[in-house]
Amino acid sequence: MVPFLKRLLPLIIGLVLLYVALKDVSFATIAQQFRLADYRWILLMGVLLIVTLFLRGMRGRQPLLALGYTPTTFRVTVALLAGTTASMIIPGSGELTRCATLQRTDGVAFPQAVGAVVAERVLDLLALLAVVMLTIVLEFDRLRHYFGGYALRLPSTTAWWLLLAGLVLAGLLLWQVRLIDFTHPRWQHPLAKRIIGFGQGLWEGLLSLRKLPQPGLFITLTILNQVMAWLMTYCLMMSLPTTRALPLLSILTTETVAFLGAILVPTQGGIGTYHLLIGRVLMLYGLPLAQATALATFLHAVNFAMTLFVSSIGFLIASFFFGNGRRTALM
């Protein structure tokens, strides 16, 4: 019963947030966005999505090569797509599905597959944190004006000092953690052990990056993934007359808030979380709440539908060609 509730809870939270976001937005306003859209930009976004998934497959192959496995980029991409489909249905199941698929298709030991995913996520996390800090620095004035209060009294240069202070504190914290004796009895509480185990897994994943056959390629592909995410959002923004007029930095802010929202309130496919947060973000750029929420609904619907369609193809390939231990030699 408890596992069922855990799976149901993200859906309930997402539907509640969706209701809160859309309760004052008419269906006609949302439908208008789809009528006004230039679907040539959406088609281009779909092409970029396919390229992005292929690049992620190339990157995901690198840690596996370091572990001694030789899967093709196609197989790794299919596993990635299967995981993406699973995560859109059951939040948190994507990585497990991906690892299980690699175990079926290429005999990758499940724990090692998980370690390879951790290695990717470590660098992803660092890249996303860099994007978050860049957004705060570049859009500090706009955020300061929007949130008001104490932030209004801070000068613009404070953003740079906050960034520097954050980096220094992070470095000092990491250094202090290295000096802690985690075998001491006070660290043996189940919750503490889980947190410590998660941190050690991240650290081991980061260290495993040194064994990559082509570390430069791995880092380059990670950066390209961030660039491609920006370009896909750019295409969606260009598809509508209203968002086409927004500054380019609005895309960076949108990506950052969507990432933070997915971490803080993980719902199925970002339903509810994206609508609520991105609708408020677009208000930063002068749009009224109803229009901003309708635009956020359009952006989410197109991105969700396109991702689900492409990833479902990968899921079907994994089930049909690689199911029950079968492997396709040509792939």
Q: How confident is the model at residue 164 (pLDDT cuts 50, 70, 90)?
A: low
| Cβ-contact 317, 57 below 8 angstroms | no
Q: What is the pLDDT of residue 154?
A: 43
Q: How confident is the model at residue 39 (pLDDT cuts 50, 70, 90)?
A: very high
Model confidence pLDDT, tens digit, residues 55-114: 999 998 888 888 788 888 888 888 888 888 887 777 667 778 888 888 888 888 777 777
Q: What is the pLDDT of residue 301?
A: 92
Q: Is the pLDDT of residue 155 over 50?
A: no
Tokens 């489909």 — which residue? 85
Model confidence pLDDT, tens digit, residues 180-199: 544 545 545 455 555 556 56
Q: What is the pLDDT of residue 151?
A: 40
